[in-house]
Structures are given as structure tokens and as C-alpha cells.
Amino acid sequence: MMGPKVMEIGKVSETVLKRAVFQQIRTKRDEILTGPGVGEDCAIMQLAPDEVFVLSTDPITGTDKDMGTLAVQITANDLASAGAEPVGMLLTVLLPPAADEELICRLMGEVECACEKLHIQGMGGHTEVTAVVNQPVLSVTGVGKAKKGRQITTGGAHVGDDVIVTKWIGIEGTSIVAKEKKEELLQHFPAALVEEAGKLDRFLSVVPEAMIAVEYGVTAMHDVTEGGIYGALWELAEASGVGLAIEKEKIPIRRETEEFCEYFHLDPYRLISSGSMLMTAPDGHRLVEALEEAGIGATIVGRCVAGGAKTIQSGEDTIVLGRPETDELYKIYE
């Protein structure tokens, strides 16, 4: 019995492109005037006079599980952290020589499923088989829109602002660990705990909380990705030119994250945390109430202070934040 047909090096054929890629792009937006097509190298998007483009780009390389979903979600989160509504995306797919059409179909199926949930249209891209990679690499450029004057930056925090963290830290890292190390974890933890941890990726979108925050006086937003909450705090403070006074015990964290990190000797506060948004606002209590009314957990963990000191208070101990380090997730592959 013949196995899957391996594709040739170079751009995938027009037949595969139409069958495995274009047919799966079903989510449409009125703003996209020209989308993906054979020979089309550019997408065209219409904007209203009082709107601006917001662009973001990111590759997915750390895992081959749910890559399509993560690629869309991470880029949408970046756009949302700027106060923008995600509209479309351009996707570059680099595949190893052993790849087949079934793999493309799976990846594009994941991409379209994520796009449908977020109402994002695939605008175009490039799909290629190349010996340069030994596993699939997805690179996404997201296109969003925002009203003029309402864009939010990482560097918009002011002295006196409350610092808010949504949902829990470490949920993306916990989900990845639960999938990558499932068999080992099942030997030490209850199956129900491991299964629930693997499903935490359902919380990865920060688009809903970002849209609410824009309406309730948020001054800065930063999605908590590589480097974890400590890295995100440092980056926000550096960009804004403020200091931080944070209470470690108030940073929200799930039981699964704590237990898995203890087992693998990981620092959960430096673990990739997509799905959690770091925010600042002059009236954090008002913003937290608005988020919780929408069913989104949020916690005030500290405030912005004068000077450059970025401190984390943990009981009697004070931690001084430094530059972000390599994400803890990579340790599970060592």
C-alpha cells in the first residue's frame, strides 16, 4: 500500500495550493478587497478615514502541536495588546522535505478554525518545502485596525497606575508541558489534572479583555509571552520609563502550573504565558470590575512608581527584576 506522496522542494504546486490551502480559507471580511490567489503577491485592505493599520508578525517554532492555532492566536493577541481589532493575516509556511499534503491540510485546518473563532481572514502568504528546516515553521503577519488616537502601547504606563494581570500566568507553558510530557506526567499526577492542563490553550486569546480595556481607561497593555510575567513586567516598565512595586503573592497562578513547574524545576514566573494580559490603568479597580462582569478574571498585582526600580515583594524578601532571560519552557527539551 502506497504512503502519502512527498512533495518536491520549492513552492508547492498550484494544485496542492488550491486544494490544501485556498479551499480551507473560508472566513471572510468586508475590509479585504483582494485576498489569496494564484499569482497574487499582495493583499488589499480598505480602511475608514478615522482608522489606522496595526501590524504584527511572529513565527511559531517551539512546538509542532496545534501550530496553526497558536500561530493565529499569538498574532491576534499582539494586535489586541495595541488596542486593535484583528482583521486579517498573511501566513508563511516552511515545510521540511518529508512533509506531505496531509500535513499542510492539518496545519491549514487549524489556522482556519482559529481564524473563524476570531473573525480573521487569511489575506495571502507563501507555502514552501525547503531543506533549511527540519520541522514546520509558521510565520504570521497580522493586520488589525484601530480608531485614530485610541491605540495602546506597551510604553503608555504612568506613575501611580495600577498594574493588572488577567486570568493566570503560565497557562500557555503549562498547556505545552502537559502535551509534550503527558506520559511522564501521568506517572506522577492524577489523569484529570494532566488532561485539564492540556486544555488550558482554550484561554489563549486576550482579544476580549483588550477590547474591554480600551473602553475603561487602560494606559498600557502587553501580552505575557516568552520570558513570562517577570519578563513582561520588565519590558512594560522599561518602555514606559517607570518603576514597579509588585506583590508576588497577588500574581494569579493555577495549581497545575505550580505543580508541573515544581516537578520539572521551572520558574513559573518566567514561563511563557500567552493568554494573560498585563495592563496598567489609573483606576484599576474599575477595569477589573468591567473584566469580571464579562467573565474574565483579573487581579491588581501592584502599581507603577517613580524611579527605575522594578521590585517584586515576596513576604519579607524583595526581588529586583532584571532583563528577561531565556524562557523556562526550553528546559523541558534539554
**DSSP string covering 228-290:** HHHHHHHHHHHHHT-EEEEEGGGS-B-HHHHHHHHHHT--GGGS--TT-EEEEETTHHHHHHH
Mean pLDDT for all residues in the chain: 91
- The number of beta carbons lying within 10 Å of the beta carbon of residue 47 is 11
Residues 166, 141 share a domain: no
Residues 308 and 247 in one domain: yes
* Residues 291 and 324 occupy one common structural domain: yes
Residue 235 belongs to a domain = yes
Q: Domain count of the chain?
A: 2
Over residues 174-189, the pLDDT tens digits come to 999 999 999 999 999 9
The 10s digit of each residue's pLDDT in 79-123 is: 999 999 999 999 999 999 998 899 999 999 999 999 999 999 999
- State whether 281 and 197 are in the same domain: yes
> Are 299 and 218 in the same domain?
yes
- Please give the full DSSP string across 21-88, using - where no structure is assigned: IGGG-----TTEEE---TT----EE---TTEEEEEEEEEE-S-SSSHHHHHHHHHHHHHHHTTPEEEE
Please choose, from the candidates 323, 228, 319, the residue with its C-alpha nearest in 3D space to the C-alpha of residue 266.
Answer: 228
**Domain-embedded: residue 310:** yes
Domain end position, chosen among 93, 119, 147:
147
C-alpha cell at 249: 503573592
Whether residue 59 is predicted with pLDDT greater than 80 in this model: the reply is yes
What pLDDT does 64 receive?
A: 66
The reported pTM is 0.85
The residue segments making up the domain with residue 261 are 162-333
Residue 66: which CATH number? Answer: 3.30.1330.10
E strand or H helix at 141: strand 137-147
Query: Is pLDDT above 70 for 54?
Result: yes
Cell of 19: 486544494
Which is it for strands 10-11 and 162-166: parallel, antiparallel or unpaired? unpaired
| DSSP string of 143-184, one letter each residue | EEEEETT---BTT---TT-EEEEES-BTHHHHHHHHHHTHHH
C-alpha–C-alpha distance, residues 123 and 42, integer Å: 8
> Which of 84, 118, 147 lies at the terminal end of a domain, its last residue?
147
What integer pLDDT is reported at residue 1 of this predicted model? 47
Structural domain contains residue 1:
no
Does 173 lie in the same domain as 141? Answer: no
pLDDT reading at 2 higher than 60: no
Is 42 inside a domain boundary? no
CATH number for the domain harbouring residue 272: 3.90.650.10
C-alpha cell at 55: 501590524
Averaged over 239-253, what is the pLDDT? Answer: 97
Confidence check: pLDDT of 62 > 80: no
Residue 227 CB contacts under 8 Å (≥ 6 apart), including other chains = 234, 235, 270, 272, 324, 325, 327
% of the chain at pLDDT higher than 70:
96
Q: Is the pLDDT of residue 199 over 60?
A: yes
My answer on whether 142 and 220 are in the same domain is no
And the C-alpha cell for 109? 485546518
**Average pLDDT score over residue span 136-150:** 91
Cα–Cα distance, 12 to 249 (Å, whole number): 51
Q: Are residues 140 and 166 in the same domain?
A: no
Q: Which pLDDT score, from 0 to 100, does residue 39 have?
A: 65
Tell me: do 95 and 64 sit in the same domain. yes
224 & 129 share domain: no
Whether the pLDDT of residue 149 is over 50: the answer is yes
14-18, 28-32, 217-221: least confident range: 14-18
pLDDT of residue 163: 98
Q: How confident is the model at residue 41 (pLDDT cuts 50, 70, 90)?
A: low
Asked if residue 166 and residue 96 are part of one domain, the reply reads: no
171 within domain boundaries: yes
Q: Which residue has the higher pLDDT, 66 or 104?
A: 104
Banded pLDDT at 283 (limits 50, 70, 90): very high
SS3 assignment, position 100:
strand
Domain boundary among 115, 147, 179: 147
* Rounded Cα–Cα distance for residues 98 and 79 (Å): 34
